[in-house]
Chain A
């Protein structure tokens, strides 16, 4: 089992094939704008209505997000890049941090179809959990997934998340109602399953 919390020299933002990095305002908006034209991706990533965006709109969102991070102090945002060629492959967000209670939620998206099913999401989740538990000192971390988002639910289960809430018929899509599922992971559970996480990447 690799060292988890004992070494402050550990690089939090370096994974096996990916790394977390800041927004690149010159290059990223155009790439992320393309992702938003993929309705299938957007419906997995969000419960807000999918809508195609221009690069200018994405840029504006980045600005708003960085302003919120600075002012509200309850968010963290990372761009996910491939180590091999530094290209943008996704994004990771930690949100709704409650400092007094030690909990937060998160979201990960791998933007283009050719980068999916390669384990990048699992690597990003492993890094994000380490950041949440070992850097932000969270006690619990949770994530929402739509009942139809089988990939996300399988990944969460693999990392030991427990299904905690099933909000019946909370979403309307394609003319029918879907459940929204919340999964939670406690720090103890994360520590105990750390060896399993190493296998996941």
Chain B
């Protein structure tokens, strides 16, 4: 069987809360990172608060719906971002969220490699029938990465994000199990 957690450029991990909180506290100071990852207002939390959330994860997050991962670059083995999967158990749908917090790793295929691992995990481990995600139209780099790993555009919610006084669409994408199987070397 293949290694679910290891790709060409990255591996999926779960970090210790204290260690991860330090990195996240640093990443969230980059408002561009936040805006690319979400259309909601940028937030800032202390490392202590972030760690508290991580501790809560340890306490009560062995739930079968949430699968949070950290992404480490194989080169240097340092954490560069996160990949979160949410499984809807009833309808076998997985929602995917990803962010590369280390700017030095943007645009070099690390995110794409992590996405491949995310899809493989969703379809091969969680039994998903489809994987879904949303992305803002002002993030074409992410859009290209999602297209590259097989996501298809399923619609756009018109003008639903307001940034710097300008309205942007959100794009919604999905990939079905059979589409993924056809394009990947299982």
Q: Cβ of A170: which chain B residues have Cβ within 8 Å of it?
A: 91, 93, 130, 132, 174
A100 and B155 within 8 A (CB): no
A139 and B162 within 8 A (CB): yes
The smallest C-beta distance from A193 to any residue of chain B, in angstroms, reads: 16
The reply on A101 being an interface residue by CB < 8 A is: yes
The reply on A199 being an interface residue by CB < 8 A is: no
Beyond A49-B90, A100-B40, A182-B155, whether A168 also contacts B161 by CB under 8 A is no
The listed residue (B39, B93, B129, B158) touching A164 by CB distance below 8 A is B158
CA distance A116 to B132 in the complex (A): 34
The listed residue (B91, B157, B161) touching A171 by CB distance below 8 A is B91
CA distance A163 to B155 in the complex (A): 9
The smallest C-beta distance from A142 to any residue of chain B, in angstroms, reads: 6
A168 and B174 within 8 A (CB): yes
B132 and A167 within 8 A (CB): yes
Q: Cβ of B157: which chain A residues have Cβ within 8 Å of it?
A: 140, 142, 164-165, 182, 184
Contact string against A for B residues 143-186, beta-carbon threshold 8 Å, 1 for contact and 0 otherwise: 00000000000111111111000010000101010000000000
The smallest C-beta distance from A164 to any residue of chain B, in angstroms, reads: 5
Contact string against A for B residues 107-138, beta-carbon threshold 8 Å, 1 for contact and 0 otherwise: 00000000000000000000001101000000
Please report which residues of chain B, range 13-65, place their CB below 8 angstroms from some CB of chain A when the two chains form the complex.
39-41
Q: How many A-B residue pairs have CB under 8 A?
A: 71
CA distance A177 to B176 in the complex (A): 11
Contact string against A for B residues 49-90, beta-carbon threshold 8 Å, 1 for contact and 0 otherwise: 000000000000000000000000000000000000000001
**Interface size bracket, B side:** 20 to 34
The reply on B8 being an interface residue by CB < 8 A is: no
B156 and A140 within 8 A (CB): no
The listed residue (B129, B158, B161) touching A101 by CB distance below 8 A is B161
CA distance A139 to B93 in the complex (A): 29
For the complex, would chain B's binding face be called helix, strand, loop or mixed by DSSP majority? strand
Residue of A nearest to B130 (CB): A169
A168 and B39 within 8 A (CB): no
Q: Cβ of A166: which chain B residues have Cβ within 8 Å of it?
A: 154-155
The listed residue (A102, A165, A169, A172) touching B176 by CB distance below 8 A is A169
Residue of A nearest to B132 (CB): A167
B156 and A164 within 8 A (CB): yes
Residue of A nearest to B177 (CB): A169
Q: Cβ of A139: which chain B residues have Cβ within 8 Å of it?
A: 159-160, 162, 167
CA distance A169 to B41 in the complex (A): 31
CA distance A140 to B162 in the complex (A): 11
CA distance A162 to B90 in the complex (A): 28
The reply on B139 being an interface residue by CB < 8 A is: no
Q: Cβ of B158: which chain A residues have Cβ within 8 Å of it?
A: 140, 162, 164, 184, 186
Contact string against B for A residues 90-116, beta-carbon threshold 8 Å, 1 for contact and 0 otherwise: 000000001011110000000000000
Beyond A48-B90, A177-B129, whether A167 also contacts B40 by CB under 8 A is no
CA distance A49 to B90 in the complex (A): 7
